[in-house]
Amino acid sequence: MARRTRPSAVPRSFRRTRLFVIANIVLWGVVGGWFLLQPKERQADVSRLLGNVFDARKQVTAFDVAWDLWQLYYSDDFVRVPPRGGRTVAYAGWPEPAGFMGPDAGRVLVNDGYVVGYSDALGNPRWAAYRAFDLELRDAPARPDEFVVDMRTSARVDPGVYSRSGYDRGHLAPNFAIATRYGKRAQEETFRMSNICPQRHALNAGPWKRLEQKVATSYPARFGEVWVLAGPVFGPKPERLKGRVAVPDAFFMIIVDEEGGRARAQAFLFPQDTPAEAPLEGFLVSIDEVERRTGLDFLRDLPDDAEAALEARAVARVW
């Protein structure tokens, strides 16, 4: 007669929780021991990072801390650059056409918390740039009720063009990140149609939103500040909404982290039909690939060697 297996006295969920707690204790012990050996200026940076772990809204875990410390001080992902930080919203210059035959980068429209390069011919922004810095997160002002025509543009796209089109009015510079850093007026400016592209709902409410949330919460808490470039990618003959607004094939987002004259970047390229639950890791590309697809030149104010090194790399892991 076969011996009956005796069920474990400890529930599996409890065992997993216990292992998680033990792993955290060991990790904190290693980080704490390392911290005590660091110079005072480094300890100050690390203390800010550790403090953000205890603010649940910033979505920073102990494992993030350990990984970030390794990346910051021991990895080769960073490239030496002249310090470019400060209050500018566009890191290392606004995007421009990559060559004589490159597409129109758009007229530059400056807003309180972000800048866009807008193409009247496409009825879309070609790119948006903004900076998200660490702060005590608070609730954003109430979301505006409606989108508005941007009278600075010649296209003057009306929000109604998107009605019943099958596409969301997708922000490039996001509502929450801008509102919490720059206030109510800046938030309202993100609802100008010059900041909006046709975006499938699964992408807009799925991977794109998850990445925007990282930029608004986790990344500034972990890195102090980040710079973002986001925009659409168009095919040679895009579909148009009501004959006016071109529909992108894909969207890109480039995120730059600079610390003490060293910079790194991660770039994403999301096809328009990206599923809502798709993991972000599947869309990591090099900035070179984004430039090839858009015809735009990014980070153009950096020295040529630093620009080339940053743009050639496709990181293996989402920060």
Looking at residue 75, what is its pLDDT? 80
Catalytically annotated residue among 131, 171, 192, 214: 171
Phi, psi of 24 (to 5 degrees): -65, -40
Q: Return d(Cα 235, Cα 145) in angstroms, integer.
A: 32
**Burial class of residue 100, CB neighbours in 10 A (0-12, 13-18, 19+):** exposed
Looking at residue 237, what is its pLDDT? 94
Would you call 171 a catalytic residue per the annotation? yes
Q: Return d(Cα 228, Cα 90) in angstroms, integer.
A: 7
Helix, strand, coil % (nearest 5) of the chain?
35, 20, 40
Q: Return d(Cα 140, Cα 180) in angstroms, integer.
A: 5
Q: Return d(Cα 187, Cα 200) in angstroms, integer.
A: 22
Question: Within the chain, where are the H helices?
Answer: 12-36, 40-53, 62-74, 175-182, 184-189, 201-205, 207-213, 219-223, 287-294, 304-312
Q: Return d(Cα 301, Cα 91) in angstroms, integer.
A: 9
Q: Return d(Cα 314, Cα 198) in angstroms, integer.
A: 27
Non-local (6+) Cβ contacts of 235 within 8 A are 249
CA distances (Å), origin 236, targets 97, 100, 122, 219, 246: 16, 17, 12, 35, 11
Phi, psi of 90 (to 5 degrees): -115, 115
Contact (CB, 8 A) for 262 and 79: yes
Instruction: Return the C-alpha torsion angle 170, 173, 178, 182, nearest 10.
Output: -130
Looking at residue 232, what is its pLDDT? 98
Per-residue pLDDT in tens (0 to 9) along the chain, 319 residues = 555 555 555 566 666 777 766 766 666 666 666 666 666 766 777 777 778 888 888 999 888 888 888 887 778 889 999 876 566 899 999 999 886 555 676 799 999 999 999 999 999 999 999 999 999 888 888 999 999 999 999 999 999 999 999 999 999 999 999 999 999 999 999 999 999 999 999 999 999 999 999 999 999 999 999 999 999 999 999 999 999 999 999 999 999 999 888 999 999 999 999 999 999 999 999 999 999 999 999 999 999 999 999 999 999 999 9
Q: Return d(Cα 156, Cα 78) in angstroms, integer.
A: 41
Contact (CB, 8 A) for 241 and 198: yes
Contact (CB, 8 A) for 190 and 171: yes
> How many CB atoms neighbour CB 90 within 10 A?
24
